[in-house]
Amino acid sequence: MDVNIKQMEGIWTLGYSLDRHTIRSTPIGYNEYGYMQFDTERPEAGEALFQLKYRSDYSQVPIIGQQLCSSFGRAFSSANLIIPMPASTPRNRQPVTEIARDLSQRMGIPYVENLLVKTGSTSPMKDIEKREDKVSALVNAFTAYDVLGEGLFDALIVDDLFDTGSSLEAATTVLRGYSKIRNVYVATVTRKR
C-alpha cells in the first residue's frame, strides 16, 4: 500500500496517520432520493477504510493492520497496550475495534477494549462550534476503567479518521488522568487535513 504518512500534533506523546482520507471529491448530481452524489478519488488507505466502514468489507482489516504495523511499529515500540477509540456510531461489528485487534496481534502487545469507554452521550460535534467545547463534551463522555494490572503503561489509541483531533484529545486527557497510563500514542488510518 502506498501511503503518505504525516505526524499529527496534539497533546498525545506521539501520533501519526497513514494518509489523507480523500484526494478529491466532485459532485456529479442528485440520486433518486435527492441526495448529492460524488465522484471521489481516495488514496489506497482511504479506499481500504471506505470499503471497510461503508461496504462492510472486513477483508480490509488485515491490509490496514499490516500497514499500520509496518509504518508505525518502530515509532510506537514502547507501547505495551492497544486501545481502540470508542466508536461514535453503533455497529454490530466495529471497524476500529477490528483494526486495533489486528494491530495488537501483529505488534505482539495486549488489546484492551474496556479501558476507555464512551459512557455518556454528546450533542453532534458539528453542532458545537468551539473546539474547546467539543473536547470538554467528549472528556465528560469518556471513562477510563481500572482494568489494568500493576505498573505503568504506554497506550496506543487506534482510530480510523483524524478530523479536528477533538476526540483523540479528549481520549488522551481521560487516559492521562488514569494513574497507570504514562504515555499516550495515537495512530489513525486516514486524516482529513
Count of residues in the chain: 193
User: What is d(CA 51, CA 45) in angstroms, rounded to the nearest whole number?
Assistant: 10
Q: Which amino acid is at 68?
A: L
pLDDT score at 183: 97
Phi, psi at residue 179, to the nearest 5°? Answer: -60, -20
Residue 29 burial by CB count (10 A; 0-12/13-18/19+): exposed, middle or buried?
exposed
What pLDDT, in 10s, does the model give residues 84-128?
Answer: 999 877 788 999 999 999 999 999 999 999 999 988 777 666 677
* Greater model confidence, 176 or 138: 176
What pLDDT, in 10s, does the model give residues 77-90?
Answer: 999 999 999 987 77
What pLDDT, in 10s, does the model give residues 4-45?
Answer: 999 999 999 999 999 999 999 999 999 999 999 999 999 999
Domains and CATH numbers, the chain: 6-191 (3.40.50)
Q: At 189, list the grid cell.
A: 488510518
Pairing of strands 81-84, 36-41: unpaired
Q: At 193, list the grid cell.
A: 487535513
